[in-house]
């Protein structure tokens, strides 16, 4: 079954085209990721999907409802967590949850049981009487997710939800997302963190309002339109300068004591050519072919580096 179907989705703001003709098929009970830098169209697409913004062109169906014609029916079945903390900082944790229950139209009996359930599930017992404005980033994140799921939505939209939290909070947050999926929830999440995108069942890489690549992360890495090489030598700056001027070299990035290099896929004998190119500056050069990662896919698909990525040591934490 498919939770979201979008066809030819376009949104213009005057002369600016924020979303430029995207097609989407988001399967139910999966985590589907939008990966892209700021300005790539992620948030605009989110707002059209949940009925907060009308498309300039195209259509989007959410859980069987036309988001343009039936926005209220769509909103009753979704939860939405924004990038910035959007609850009330001068209310306590419990008061925030109670207010959201009233917004969702819950009965008094359901409100009491649902708040108690969310406080326990999201480990808010010691925080329920604290004002939301005094919470840490990770605590605010747990509260926001608890509020977004109070009414048991079938679809959860998360717009860069981990941009202001530490690595351990990010890891705990993703464990909770997989629990929600196991319970039947479909999740659409936007991120500019490569390691988070790799956790998704499927990913759409957005660039300038268009989908540059789409599919399961492993499949995207396997089918990348580039060859990925790593270079080690005693003079990395010289090797990098030498490679940067070559048209057949698509990207060069330094990772610790090695260079991570993308070259054209149709380049014959790329390892030998690269070695010969830098040998004069680096007589000790070693070149190895390696597997692609999702950042390589982004670079190959868009022709530019990601604007913000997690350092390798953090991603492995």
Q: For 31-49, what is each residue's pLDDT tens digit?
A: 999 998 888 899 899 889 9
Q: For 145-201, what is each residue's pLDDT tens digit?
A: 999 999 999 999 998 888 767 788 888 889 999 999 999 999 999 988 888 999 999
Residue 300 has pLDDT above 70, yes or no: yes
Q: Which domains does the chain have, with CATH numbers?
A: 29-51+69-220 (3.40.50.300), 225-291 (3.30.70.100)
263 — alpha (psi -120 to 50), left (phi > 0) or beta? beta
* Nearest to 41, CA basis, from 12, 14, 3: 12
Q: For 118-131, what is each residue's pLDDT tens digit?
A: 999 999 999 999 99
């Amino acid at each position: 079954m498919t939770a979201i179907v979008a066809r030819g989705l376009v949104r213009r703001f005057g002369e600016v085209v924020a979303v430029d003709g995207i097609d989407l098929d988001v399967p139910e009970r999966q985590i589907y990721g939008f990966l892209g830098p700021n300005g790539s169209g992620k948030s605009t697409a989110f707002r059209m999907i949940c009925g907060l913004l009308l498309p300039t062109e195209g259509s989007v169906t959410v859980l069987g409802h036309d988001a343009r014609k039936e926005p209220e029916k769509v909103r009753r079945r979704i939860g939405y967590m924004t990038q910035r903390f959007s609850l009330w900082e001068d209310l306590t944790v419990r008061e925030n949850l109670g207010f959201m229950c009233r917004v969702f139209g819950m009965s008094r009996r359901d409100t009491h049981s649902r708040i108690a359930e969310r406080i326990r599930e999201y480990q808010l017992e010691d925080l329920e009487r604290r004002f939301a404005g005094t919470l840490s980033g990770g605590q605010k994140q747990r509260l926001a997710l608890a509020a977004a799921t109070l009414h048991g939505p079938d679809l959860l939209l998360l717009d860069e939800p981990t941009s202001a939290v530490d690595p351990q909070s990010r890891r705990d947050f993703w464990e909770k997302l997989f629990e929600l999926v196991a319970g039947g929830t479909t999740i659409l999440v936007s991120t500019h963190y490569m390691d988070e995108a790799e956790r998704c069942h499927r990913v759409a890489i957005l660039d300038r309002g268009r989908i540059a690549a789409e599919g399961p992360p492993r499949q995207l890495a396997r089918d990348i339109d580039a060859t990925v090489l790593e270079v080690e030598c005693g003079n990395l700056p010289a090797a990098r300068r030498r490679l940067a001027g070559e048209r057949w070299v698509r990207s060069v990035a330094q990772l610790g004591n090695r260079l991570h290099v993308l070259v054209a896929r149709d380049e014959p004998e790329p390892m030998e050519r690269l070695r010969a190119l830098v040998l004069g500056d680096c007589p000790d050069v070693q070149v190895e072919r390696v597997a692609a990662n999702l950042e390589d896919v982004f670079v190959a698909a868009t022709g530019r580096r990601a604007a913000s990525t997690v350092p390798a040591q953090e991603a492995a934490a």
